[in-house]
Amino acid sequence: RKSEDGVVNRNGKDLITFCKSFNLKILNGRFGSDKGVGMYTCHTPRGESVVDYALVSDCLIPQVKNFLVDPLDTTLSDVHSAIHVSLSNCSSTPLRTEQLGTEQPEATNSNNLQGDSRPTYRDKWKPDIGDTFSHSFNEDNVDHLLDTLVNMNNNEITQENIDSVTNEMVDIFIEAAQSTGLCKENKNTKPYKKRPYSRRHPQQDWFDEECESKRKAYMETKNAGYGKKSKQARKAHREILKHVEKEYKNFIAKTQNNFRINIAKVLKEAKSKDPKCFWKILKSKNSQSKKDGNISLQSFMQHFQELNNLTSEQSDSEFKKEDLSQGNNEELNRDFNVDEIEKLIKKLKTGKSCGIDNIINEYLKKCPTSMKNAIVSLFNLVLKSGIVPSDWCIGIIIPLFKNKGDINDVNNYRGITLLSVLGKLFTSAINQRLTKFLEGISALGEDQAGFREGYSTLNHIFVLHCIIDFYLQKKKRLYCAFIDYSKAFDLINRSTLWIKLLGIGVKGKIINVIYNLYDSAKSCVRKCNNLSDFFHCNVGVRQGENLSPLLFAIYLNDFESFVAQEYEGLTFLSSEASRLLGDDVFEMYLRLYILLYADDTIVLAESPNQLQAALNSVQRYCEKNSLKLNLTKTKVIVFSRGKIRNIPKFWYGEEQVEVVDDYIYLGVKINYNGSFTKAIEKQIDQARKAMFSLITKARRLQLPVDLQIELFDKTVVPILLYGCEVWGCSNISEIEVFYRKFLKIVLKVGKSTPNCMVYGETGKFPLQLTIFTRIVNFWVKISEDKNKKIATKFYKIMFNLQKAGHFDFKWLNQVKTILVTTGYSNLWEMQDQYNTKYRIAKNIPTAIKESIVSVCHDKIQTGSRCNSYKIFKQNLNFEYYLTNLSTRHRITMSKFRCGHNRLPVNDFRFFRTEDLSLKNCKLCDRKE
């Protein structure tokens, strides 16, 4: 966007912040006749500026035809130019067949499999009748199923019989659910007929049928006056209308107040007794209508069919299915037991959608022990034979709009795949067993931290921060390529995957069943309760499948060793640490080439030539393993203490890779100089959007103050403080300003209200408490980790370098400062001798809190604006008038207590040149 006005002031920054918060775009200098110009809109004797703007949301941008700024016309305005916005006629879009209420043509293709014709069910779980559901199973049917599974001989183990017993198991679940009213058959599969919009149906949550009736009576009375011709009749009608109008308004006000009281009561009860209901109410009351473009089921099916059948080059080593039957591993291929499956069932999350078999997780969690025995027997039968039930191989794809781009373009939709719950439980058991096996033999490299128990994104963010800080302090440059793959999970070559699994020792029944699961994989698309025909999925790992993350990690497990053939890695880090500390063992700790978190990849190098060699190696690896890079998102950062003049060029094949100053890695913005200033700004921008969404929700539901603050802590603070365990050593003053801004909005007090009053009224503490606590907890975790993760190794090196005086790590200084100020300096000085850090660290938040309370009390006692506040504020706790008083009285009380009023005691504070002791109070005429 261009602008002739090059001046930036606070109002302009506030406007940009406002646009970011609500996803708005400025048209000035960006569209139409004003594109690339940004003409002045305000003309005064003091100069010209741009102060008149047109703002549009993202969804309206495709509709913008023109934007222009007129020359100044003094007949319209003395100083402002008129601006014109032209939009295309949105109403010309043809109605969808669903809107017309007509049947959509079925999605058929002669190359596809026939669609599923079984009935679908609508599940609605009720926790209060879970025990009733457990006792509603037909024990005779369960015993018959169990006998069939146990007594099935090898000759009877066929695909048909496996499907038969699986369907029998599903029928038992469905029968029990139907008998208790937990699921009903969907008999109407016609597309949804959209209800026509009516202005007579206000969208407020409190507006019920009785309000509608009162409104209708009021409107009838009002309309009756249009036919009155005589003056007396009109006057009489106005008197009647005045009475009806007053009655209607009073009724509406009463209904609103009752709604506010009721919703607050319901939410408070649900918060402790039924958290799921609590969040469901909040989300449902603020839910937006689902966006659905003019796209047919056939078009969606063709789109996702193309994605699931992308061409993938075969690997150099040809895979043979016969290789799967060679070898065996007792640890991987032993039978499942009931305890093993019961533990997995307890971990299942509730409230999830079902797959093609209509079974939900709640059914498994509440089914009787006899049914769990049948599930275990089925799992062992599938593992033994390698024959996977057909339903477990089917995925139902639900297209969801990405909220960006054209709503009628299938490329702007992402597919959410629903799989069989029984099938996912089976693969969860396979995944658990496979993960334990790979961790036991250390098959996965420490450079891969994605989807592994005990690992998190913070590990790699911390490691990268350590490396950057080390190189910059040693006045060296660090060259990093941030790799972004295009559809990485979808392009995996399965033949190559099977070869890699066999290569690390995964053999026998377990790899055979995984192979058969993927070999029979097929999907369909669901829209408006209609299913398309099935189509095969030939490449990639399945979305939503428990095994997919681990399989992808195995697929990329040889990436580091492949790249290491081209260059030596971070040799300066290794040699410098060895030289300064005099211990060669650190070389194997610090020789790094890449960092992996799932498909988020960083390639590290010490010179432009090394990084280019590494990129060439990445290209060959991708070609060999059927992967593609997204070069629009793949970037290079040259980390240095200052801006470099001659920026080197890097190439991936024949295309140049862009060199940038910052990059968002694992959700944290990394800057070229190692500063976290931009990272904090990014977190604040994201949290601001969530805050405005919360405020909108709170005002719509008229939520009480305490609930608003609690929701902020649970929904906004996690966004705001993501990654603070690492960047918390930087200046966090802007974080505190943002937090206090929300508290002041809730209290309805001014921006200049003293901070101690804001914290005192709400009973909250600065976010410094949370940030420092999380930093200490993360420090304890990485310093005490017995598995010697890469983050722990880097911490040990950085600590020893700093202890020897060869390094000054700001993050370590922050940890030390926290421990010293809270009275635990001995924990820092002799941390190698302490094995009870976890227990001691629990006391640190209390010490920090006591320090904050002491400072806040001092400010209340000595603050110039707290002369009256210190009289009635003794303890830093939540003031219950915030919830007990009505909104109007609460705001008045908050402003009175916080000095946000025009009482003389507050006005006199601004008389700096006069003796306040000589001033008389305007209300009582006393000098006090």
Sequential DSSP letters for 885-896:
S-HHHHHHHHHH
CA distances 134 to 145, 182, 354, Å, are 17, 12, 19
- Return the structure tokens found at 262: 């009721």
Asked if residue 741 has pLDDT above 90, the reply is: yes
- Return the structure tokens found at 433: 């067993």
**Hey, what amino acid is at 450?**
G
**Hey, what amino acid is at 887?**
T
Per-residue model confidence as pLDDT tens digits over 85-130: 988 865 433 333 333 333 333 433 434 455 566 667 777 788 788 8
User: What is the average pLDDT across 388-417?
Assistant: 87
611: enclosing H helix or E strand = helix 608-624
Reference 116, options 425, 514, 529; nearest CA is 529
The per-residue pLDDT for 203 is: 59
CA distances 282 to 183, 349, 720, Å, are 25, 20, 21
Q: How confident is the model at residue 275 (pLDDT cuts 50, 70, 90)?
A: confident
Per-residue model confidence as pLDDT tens digits over 552-572: 999 999 999 999 898 888 888
In degrees and rounded to multiples of 5, residue 655 shows phi and psi of -105, 140
Given a contact cutoff of 8 angstroms between Cβ atoms, the answer to whether 567 and 479 are in contact is no
User: What is the average pLDDT across 835-853?
Assistant: 80
- Return the structure tokens found at 257: 């107040």
DSSP string, 821-888: HTT-HHHHHTGGG-S-HHHHHTTHHHHHHHHHHHHHHHHHHH-TT-TTHHHH--S-S--THHHHS-HH
Residue with tokens 């506040």: 869
Asked if residue 395 has pLDDT above 50, the reply is: yes
Reference 304, options 559, 615, 554, 540; nearest CA is 540
HEC assignment per residue over 410-459: HHHEEEEEEECHHHHHHHHHHHHHHHHHHHHCCCCCCCECCCCCCCCHHH
The per-residue pLDDT for 199 is: 42
Reference 410, options 488, 304, 530; nearest CA is 304
Q: Give the orientation angle of helix 810-821 with respect to helix 844-862, to 10 degrees.
A: 80
Q: Cα(682)–Cα(688) distance, rounded to whole angstroms? A: 10
In degrees and rounded to multiples of 5, residue 371 shows phi and psi of -70, -35
Asked if residue 535 has pLDDT above 80, the reply is: yes
Between 115 and 194, the more confident residue is: 115
Reference 672, options 807, 808, 480; nearest CA is 480
- Return the structure tokens found at 82: 């008129």
- Return the structure tokens found at 512: 């055979």
Given a contact cutoff of 8 angstroms between Cβ atoms, the answer to whether 544 and 418 are in contact is yes
Q: Cα(14)–Cα(62) distance, rounded to whole angstroms? A: 26
In degrees and rounded to multiples of 5, residue 506 shows phi and psi of -85, 105
Q: Cα(513)–Cα(427) distance, rounded to whole angstroms? A: 10
Strand runs labelled E in 503-580: 522-527, 530-531, 535-536
The length of the chain, given as a count of residues: 928
**Hey, what amino acid is at 69?**
V
- Return the structure tokens found at 682: 């990014």
Given a contact cutoff of 8 angstroms between Cβ atoms, the answer to whether 647 and 672 are in contact is no
User: What is the average pLDDT across 341-369?
Assistant: 91
The per-residue pLDDT for 103 is: 37
User: What is the average pLDDT across 920-926?
Assistant: 63
* Burial classification of residue 832, based on how many CB atoms lie within 10 Å of its CB (0-12 exposed, 13-18 middle, 19 or more buried): exposed
The per-residue pLDDT for 97 is: 32
Number of Cβ within a 10 Å radius of residue 188:
6
Most confident range (mean pLDDT) of 21-35, 752-766, 891-905 is 752-766
CA distances 378 to 167, 233, 333, 386, 426, Å, are 11, 83, 15, 12, 10
The per-residue pLDDT for 806 is: 84
Asked if residue 539 has pLDDT above 50, the reply is: yes
Most confident range (mean pLDDT) of 190-194, 424-428, 912-916 is 424-428
Number of Cβ within a 10 Å radius of residue 507:
19
Residue with tokens 């941030």: 482
Provide the whole-model pTM. Answer: 0.83
* Burial classification of residue 432, based on how many CB atoms lie within 10 Å of its CB (0-12 exposed, 13-18 middle, 19 or more buried): middle
In degrees and rounded to multiples of 5, residue 56 shows phi and psi of -135, 155
**Hey, what amino acid is at 295?**
I
In degrees and rounded to multiples of 5, residue 104 shows phi and psi of -90, 145
Q: Cα(755)–Cα(746) distance, rounded to whole angstroms? A: 14
Per-residue model confidence as pLDDT tens digits over 443-454: 888 888 888 888
Q: How confident is the model at residue 838 (pLDDT cuts 50, 70, 90)?
A: low
Q: Cα(729)–Cα(745) distance, rounded to whole angstroms? A: 28
DSSP string, 359-392: --HHHHHHS-HHHHHHHHHHHHHHHHH-PPPGGG
Asked if residue 588 has pLDDT above 60, the reply is: no
Q: What per-residue string of b and e applies to 116-129 under the rule 16 or more CB within 10 Å gives b?
A: beeebbebebeeee
- The region that residue 876 occupies, defined by phi over 0 for left and psi between -120 and 50 for alpha, beta otherwise, is beta
Per the prediction, the chain carries an average pLDDT of 84
Q: Cα(337)–Cα(692) distance, rounded to whole angstroms? A: 50
Residue with tokens 């038992």: 172
DSSP string, 95-147: PPHHHHTPPPPP---TTSBPPP-S--EEE---GGGHHHHHTTS-HHHHHHHHH
The per-residue pLDDT for 917 is: 55
In degrees and rounded to multiples of 5, residue 244 shows phi and psi of -65, -40
DSSP string, 282-344: HHHHTPPPPP--S--HHHHHHHHHHHTT---PPPSSPP-GGGGGS---HHHHSPP-HHHHHHH
Given a contact cutoff of 8 angstroms between Cβ atoms, the answer to whether 75 and 83 are in contact is no
Q: Is 55 helix (H, G, I), strand (E, B) or coil?
A: strand
Taking the alpha carbons at both ends of the chain, their separation in whole angstroms is 58
- Return the structure tokens found at 760: 């005192």
Q: Cα(659)–Cα(637) distance, rounded to whole angstroms? A: 6
Number of Cβ within a 10 Å radius of residue 65:
11
The per-residue pLDDT for 900 is: 78
Residue with tokens 């990639």: 540
The per-residue pLDDT for 837 is: 65
Q: Where are the domains of the chain?
A: 10-92, 209-285, 462-488+552-671, 677-928
Q: What is the DSSP letter of 629?
A: B
Per-residue model confidence as pLDDT tens digits over 636-687: 999 999 888 899 999 999 999 999 999 999 999 999 999 999 999 999 999 9
Q: Cα(226)–Cα(906) distance, rounded to whole angstroms? A: 54
Between 320 and 865, the more confident residue is: 865
Per-residue model confidence as pLDDT tens digits over 576-585: 777 776 654 4
